[in-house]
Structure 1
């Protein structure tokens, strides 16, 4: 259906946000040499419908780096070609523990040498486990049922599970080291459920080898769990090297059960002016805008608003 004049003007204005803002991706600053990136999971339905067209829109907004969550049926070489065509590059990829994990798409930890080759083809440097996942193997047991973790009466993962996960990350990190790659772990809010005097994320941080394993802090999920990102960055300097810049509404209840009220960055309760300076000095050097569904309008518009807000912050203009 053709757009009316008002819709055309709105769409044009949003697409011009990236072009009208300073080219932080080129100048470095708070965002590092990669600039502000975007986690493509936020645009997943759009990418399924039109991979090349959506990547072009991402680039026109002013993003240059992306983090991949799905290969969308493409090989690593085909995905790299699509990114190159759009003028985008990938340094980080979310990788499922195994092809047996529900929703696994393309890249898994099943074959470390194949994974290393594919990530090298993509130009990536980091293979991030996006969620507590275990392959179907006798030593791991059956995969964790997500449905139980989403219930308010669901039991948290045990300390033993997190210890197994830490071993898995260490082994994966060691295997990928020969390819010049590192392994990361991305948190949700489940990892903050108390387990005695600790949390699951603490167990992972303390039992993984810093020379092999990094962490990607998802600020939205961390705050959803009732925790302070600044406190975690200061307690574990150098362990969080990537960040998902994600906001949540004030209405989001504190919980550990994968429940969240998402909103564009800058439209929620998170104090980015306090978090980003600490992130910069504690070792975070890649930042990816992300937003979970539901969306109130086109997803690409939400990414544009988040990017515009981040570029308007004092720290992005050399403040703080």
Structure 2
């Protein structure tokens, strides 16, 4: 595994202006209307004036080998008992279908299926054989990151040929700096152990991870701060953890939910402050600390608590073209499609795999033009 470390770049909004689609990227990052996003190379096409696409080549923003899916999106079919719906069920049939769609990488969300398929539970070794038979690679997992069971989880990761080992939970749910300090100490040690075995340890965000710390101002009856310096929880964790040992998976949907929900705080003097969260500018200065992403799409809907409704990739408002183009390092990043509400239940048993196919097509259509 290549050694990757944090590469601070001091990226500013002017850099984003240059790196992506000119003013459109800056407007989009600021939450302002963007009518269209074109790449700089496309803009240059008219200046060249010599033939259709002359001097240009098209490259995928997410290389085909880096296109993945977290199995949580199709959990209904992984765990289904044999039925007569005609829809694949269990690891063997579902993974074969995902490979047929075009996915090349799998992020796990558990290692169990319905015991009626084998008369017992499937083993990690048997799952690895299914991966290999279908040309699939395990790129990560959402499991429990616990010092007491971490060796066992790394053993499973190695059995599956996994590159990264992680969790879908925050290192701590606390609003207080001391708890994030303690979590950082634990994660630095676990990350060091993971690196020694050729693995990267990562954590995945929901919106609360990008809420503000309570780290300033008057204290409560328990001596805890009641106001904020404006520092966000996970961004504080970035700086407290060793970039050699601790990595991140941004869930792009939940990052934009954080942008919607967590934009004001009370400073140490009791004044209301506004700070608009920017997912792109959170990743871009430290892009090689994010080997994985959840490519999860949503439509803006201020009437719902999260401000967005989940939809298949490419059918929502999130500008993934702008996102992946601006953060760069296309070969390093791995995108896993996820949609929490993809399963259709017994009424529509094929819905999650149908959404997986539609979302793969959208992921494959994200392209960049280069000279």
Q: How far apart are the structure 2 equivalents of 1:42 and 1:95? A: 15
Displacement of 1:273 in angstroms is 1.6
1:244 aligns with 2:294: yes
- Relative to structure 1, is the Cα distance of residues 191 and 283 closer, same or farther in structure 2, using a 3 angstrom cutoff? farther
1:216-245 CA deviation, whole Å, 9 max, x = no partner? 111000001113221112233322121111
1:35 aligns with 2:93: no
Please state whether the residue corresponding to 1:262 is helix, strand or coil: strand
Q: TM-score, normalised by structure 2?
A: 0.64
1:84 aligns with 2:135: no
1:125 aligns with 2:175: no
> Which one has a larger percent helix, Structure 1 or Structure 2?
1
Alignment of 1:190-229 (within 5 A): 190-195=208-213, 196=228, 197-226=230-259, 227-229=277-279
Displacement of 1:249 in angstroms is 1.5
Please state whether the residue corresponding to 1:132 is helix, strand or coil: coil
User: What residue number does 2:27 align with?
Assistant: none
Give the length in aligned residue pairs: 260
Return the match for 2:141 from 85, 90, 93: 93
Return the match for 1:179 from 175, 186, 197: 197
Q: Residues 74 and 343 of structure 2 are in contact (CA less than 8 Å); yes or no, is this contact kept in structure 1?
A: no
1:289 aligns with 2:337: yes
Q: Residues 287 and 327 of structure 2 are in contact (CA less than 8 Å); yes or no, is this contact kept in structure 1?
A: no
Q: Residues 225 and 254 of structure 1 are in contact (CA less than 8 Å); yes or no, is this contact kept in structure 2?
A: no
Deviation beyond 4 Å, 4+ runs, structure 1: 252-255, 294-297
Alignment of 1:98-113 (within 5 A): 98=146, 109-113=147-151
Q: Residues 187 and 216 of structure 1 are in contact (CA less than 8 Å); yes or no, is this contact kept in structure 2?
A: yes
Q: Residues 241 and 283 of structure 1 are in contact (CA less than 8 Å); yes or no, is this contact kept in structure 2?
A: no
Return the match for 1:166 from 146, 168, 184: 184
Q: How far apart are the structure 1 equivalents of 2:243 and 2:309? A: 33
Greater C-alpha radius of gyration: 2
- Relative to structure 1, is the Cα distance of residues 224 and 123 closer, same or farther in structure 2, using a 3 angstrom cutoff? same
Displacement of 1:212 in angstroms is 0.6
Displacement of 1:191 in angstroms is 0.7
Q: How far apart are the structure 2 equivalents of 1:269 and 1:260? A: 9
The answer for unaligned runs of 5 or more in structure 2 is: 1-57, 81-88, 113-120, 214-227, 260-276
Q: How far apart are the structure 1 equivalents of 2:155 and 2:76? A: 27
Q: Residues 28 and 35 of structure 1 are in contact (CA less than 8 Å); yes or no, is this contact kept in structure 2?
A: no
- Relative to structure 1, is the Cα distance of residues 282 and 312 closer, same or farther in structure 2, using a 3 angstrom cutoff? closer
Please state whether the residue corresponding to 1:67 is helix, strand or coil: strand
1:56 aligns with 2:109: no
Q: How far apart are the structure 2 equivalents of 1:75 and 1:165? A: 31
Q: TM-score, normalised by structure 1?
A: 0.73
Q: How far apart are the structure 2 equivalents of 1:165 and 1:275? A: 29
